[in-house]
Every structure is written in C-alpha cells, then in structure tokens.
Amino acid sequence: MASLWGGRFEKDMDEIVKEFNASIFFDQRMYNEDIDGSIAHVTMLGKQGIVTEEEAQQIIGGLEEIRSEIAAGKIQFTVDDEDIHMGIESRLIEKIGEVGKKLHTARSRNDQCQVDGRLYLKRQIREILGELARLEQVILDKAEQYAEDITVGFTHIQHAQPITVGFLFMAYFQMFRRDMERLQDTLKRMDLNPLGACALAGTTLPTDRFLTTELLGFRAPTENAMDSVSDRDYSLEFLSDASISMMHISRWAEEFAWWNSSEFSYIAIDDSYCTGSSIMPQKKNPDMAELLRGKCGRVYGDMMQLFTVMKGTPLAYNKDFQEDKESLFDAVDTWKACIRIFAGMLEKTEFRMDMIQKQLGKGFLNATDIAEHLAKQGIPFREAHSIVGRMVKACEHKGCDFDGLSDEDLRAIDPRVSTEVLGDISIPACVDARTSFGGTAPSEVRRQIQVGREWLHHV
Ligand code: ARG
C-alpha cells in the first residue's frame, strides 16, 4: 500500500524497514486524543475559511465514526498504517473521499503527535492525581485510627525514639502530598497547545491557534513553533515526578516487607495481598510489597531511557523522538497500578500493637526524653546527655532498664539526679510530651491530620 507521503518515492519501504519505522503498535493508545486534536483543527480550518464549514462538518462526522469503530474494536491497525495519525487519516479518506484529504492542511505530524501526547498526559495526570488522593485518604484514616498507638522510631535501623504509628503515616502523607503538588506543577507548565506549529516553522495559511487552544482546553498556545515540536520536557518532568513518587512507594514497601517478617511481626498484611510458596506450605509472602519496591527500578529505567534519547538531539523534530512514548506509557501504567495496589494493601494491613509493645522496652527509647527532662531542670543539655549515657551504661551493667535504677544508683552517676527528679519517664508520657510543632505527640499528630484533611479537601 502506498503511504500518504509516497509522492516523491519510486519504491515502497522494505518490509523490515516498515516494521522498524512504525509506531502504530504503541501510539494507537492515543487514538481518542488524535481525533480530538483533528476535530479542533478542522473546526478552526472551517471558521477561518481555509476549508468550507460543510467540509469541516463532513470531516468531523467521519472522524467520529472512526472513533466509534476503533472503540468497538472494528478497526485493526497494521504496519502499513505507520502511526496513529496516518492510520486515522487514511481511514478518513477511505470513508469520506476527497474531502478527507483536506484535514492535514496547516498541520504536520510533528505538531500532531505533540498535541496528542500532551492531551493524553494531561488526562493521565488527572487520573493519577485521583489515585494519589485516594491513597492520601487511606493514609489519613489510618493515621487517625493509630494516632495514640506507640511504635519504635528508628534511625540507622536502630531503636531511636518512641513515636506513634499515626505520626509515621503522616510522614508518608507529606511525601505523597509533595508528589501531588509536583504533578500539579507539571500539569500547569505543560498545559500549552503545540497544534499549529506545523513541521517546525508555522504556516502561511491564516490559522487561529488561539481557537484550537480554547477548543482543546489548553491554557495558551506554545510561543515558538520550533520549540513546540522539539520539546519533550513535559514527558521528562512527568517521568521525574513518577520516579520520585515510586521511590516513596518503594521505601514504604520496604518497611512493609520488614515489618511483616517473623522477626518484626509489627504488621499482618492481609491474605488477599500476599502469595504462597509452591514448595513451602507454611509460607505467606509479602509479594505485593516486594513488587511495589521492585517496580520503582522499572520507572527509573523509563525516565533514564527518555533522558538518554533526548540528549544531544538537534532542533527541530528528529525521528528519535518517536522513542518518547513506550517508556512514558509504561511509567503511566506502572505508577497508576502501584498507587492503587499500595492503597489497597495499606487499607487492609493491621498493625499488631501487642507485638510492637514487646519491643518498646528495648533500646532505651526514652533516653533523649530523660536528657531533655534534666535540661528543663537547668542541667546543661550536654551534661544531661552524658548523665543519661552513664545511666544506660549502669543499666547494661545491672541488666535492667531505666526503671530499675535506684536512687542510690542515680546519685552515684550524678548527685543532681534521683527517681523523683526523673518523674514519669514511661514511654507513653514521653510520647505525649513531644508536642513541638511537627512532633509525635498524639495531639500534634491530630493537628497534622486536620491540616492534611483540609488540604486534601481542596485539591
Ligand atoms: N510517529 C511519529 C512520532 O511518534 C510521528 C511524527 C512523525 N513525523 C515525521 N516527520 N516523521 O514521533
């Protein structure tokens, strides 16, 4: 079959070249956006008198029919279609005849594929924002549920200070909030219409790019035609946003896998989010957590792929840019699925407070609180730090925790310290007292949840 661009050619493309050159097998997922772009374009051509209103209507009718046929699975694209743009245009010409040949006036595939890409990504970003919002909702509800429950806070994977489970949830809430804000920012910057840039330099025909901009719901037309067809920054930004967010998911997934281990047993991941072993009958593996952790590498790969493709490409359009789609689509699918799976897993995970409780006595979690308590009584913090350090040593000697030190033991460490001076150093009392802004006290976590809910309500 002769290609739509075949005029100056004497030979058909070699079969293997056709195959290698084609993007139809992956870019057909943008068929809706391609048709939306074409309808806006031909509406504008009609309004500007570049085609007649009647011709515009005929073309729009044909495009809508093609849209329904594709949706119903009645059109099978083949390698001869080359890409979705020509796949649809050649169907249009088949369907409505000569008038169909007017659609591509004042347009190039170089701007067409960009309008498709931006429309597609804008829609996907809105969906992903919806998924992230649902995840944030689950996090807020869980944070509320566990606002008072105390767990171990780690640094260097060592027992550090007691925190509430709700507090930890709210730490992740902030990460996903930033992910959403980054995505909104990307959306704002990419919301410009490249249609009408044509091949690279605009057109001599009296087009109205502001009209297509309005029809397609973009904020404004892109300023420079050459940049419009060469720019893939918006995809790179999206892939960067996806990579950062996948990193957040993978960090929490890693914690889930650990907490679910028999050594920790801090959580019980629901059966519906685990799998078994084909040989070891007793196994219940946290495969979803591991896959979520692993998928991050895949999205980093998608990001690196496009960064590498774009590096050193001269202006304006180069065929290299066709390589911008598969990794983008893969990142869209992977990120979206991961957020959904993660939210589901989180919702169904139960924190085993009885098991966590057993760990709270280990590792002198309240050591910093005691030092701060002494500092409040006028002992310089550096000295207080050293006193508590010696208390830890004494405990290790005696094989007890702080409660096991007598007045005599304490005075031997420093005459200013006694059990009375120490007061209530229980773990819950320590957590309750960490009321500094952003701290782990339940009252403070509740404030964070409230702020989070208000923000989520307005996104
Ligand atoms: N399939 C191409 C792509 O995805 C469309 C643009 C082709 N333009 C061209 N001049 N060959 O990038």
Active-site annotation holder among 68, 261, 277, 443 = 277
Choosing from 319, 339, 358, the residue where a domain stops is 358
Active site residue 277: yes
Domain that holds residue 447: 362-458
Structural domain includes residue 160: no
Domain-embedded: residue 392: yes
Ligand 1 centroid to Cα of residue 16, in Å, is 18
Ligand 1 atom at shortest distance from the alpha carbon of 27? 4
Q: CA-CA distance, 16 to 350, in Å (whole number)?
A: 55
Per-residue pLDDT of the chain (459 residues; tens, 9 = 90+): 567 888 888 888 899 999 999 999 999 999 999 999 999 999 999 999 999 999 999 999 999 999 999 999 999 999 999 999 999 999 999 999 999 999 999 999 999 999 999 999 999 999 999 999 999 999 999 999 999 999 999 999 999 999 999 999 999 999 999 999 999 999 999 999 999 999 999 999 999 999 999 999 999 999 999 999 999 999 999 999 999 999 999 999 999 999 999 999 999 999 899 888 888 888 888 999 999 999 999 999 999 999 999 999 999 999 999 999 999 999 999 999 999 999 999 999 999 999 999 999 888 999 999 999 999 999 999 999 999 999 999 999 999 989 899 999 999 999 999 998 888 889 999 999 999 999 999 999 999 999 999 999 999
State whether 116 and 173 are in the same domain. yes
For ligand 1, whether the C-beta of 321 sits within 6 Å is yes
Check which CATH number belongs to the domain holding 249 and give it.
1.20.200.10
For residues 244 and 351, state if they share a domain: yes
Same domain, 174 and 287: yes
Q: Is residue 181 part of a domain?
A: yes
Residues 61 and 124 in one domain: no
- Does 262 map to a domain? yes
Q: Is 250 in the pocket of ligand 1 (CB under 6 A)?
A: no
Q: How many domains does the chain have?
A: 3
Residues 238 and 345 in one domain: yes
| Residues 62, 180 within the same domain | no
Q: How many residues appear in the chain?
A: 459
CA–CA separation, 85 vs 106, rounded Å?
Answer: 15
Domain assignment present for residue 246? The answer is yes
Evaluate: CB of 113 within 6 angstroms of ligand 1.
yes
Q: Is residue 157 part of a domain?
A: no
The stretches of 348-380 forming alpha helices (DSSP H) are: 353-360, 367-376
Specify whether 281 is located in the same domain as 326: yes
Based on the fold, state whether residues 396 and 338 are members of the same structural domain.
no
Pair 353, 371 in one domain: no
Cα 413 to middle of ligand 1, angstroms: 77
CATH number where 418 lies:
1.10.40.30
Q: Could you tell me where the DSSP H helices lie in 268-360?
A: 287-310, 326-347, 353-360
CA of 6 to the centre of ligand 1 (A): 15
Residues 319 and 436 in one domain: no
Distance 98 CA to ligand 1 centre (A): 24
Q: In whole angstroms, give the CA distance from residue 274 to residue 285.
A: 5
Q: Are 326 and 344 in a shared domain?
A: yes
- What is the domain-level CATH number for residue 78? 1.10.275.10
Domain termination site, one of 337, 358, 379: 358
Of the residues 358, 382, 400, which one is the last residue of a structural domain?
358
Of ligand 1's listed atoms, the one at least distance from the Cα of 199 is 10
The response to whether residue 112 sits with its C-beta less than 6 Å from ligand 1 reads no
Q: Give yes or no: 156 in active site.
A: yes
The DSSP line for 209-247 is HHHHHHHHT-SEE-S-HHHHHH--HHHHHHHHHHHHHHH
Do residue 12 and residue 26 come from a single domain?
A: yes
276 lies in some domain: yes
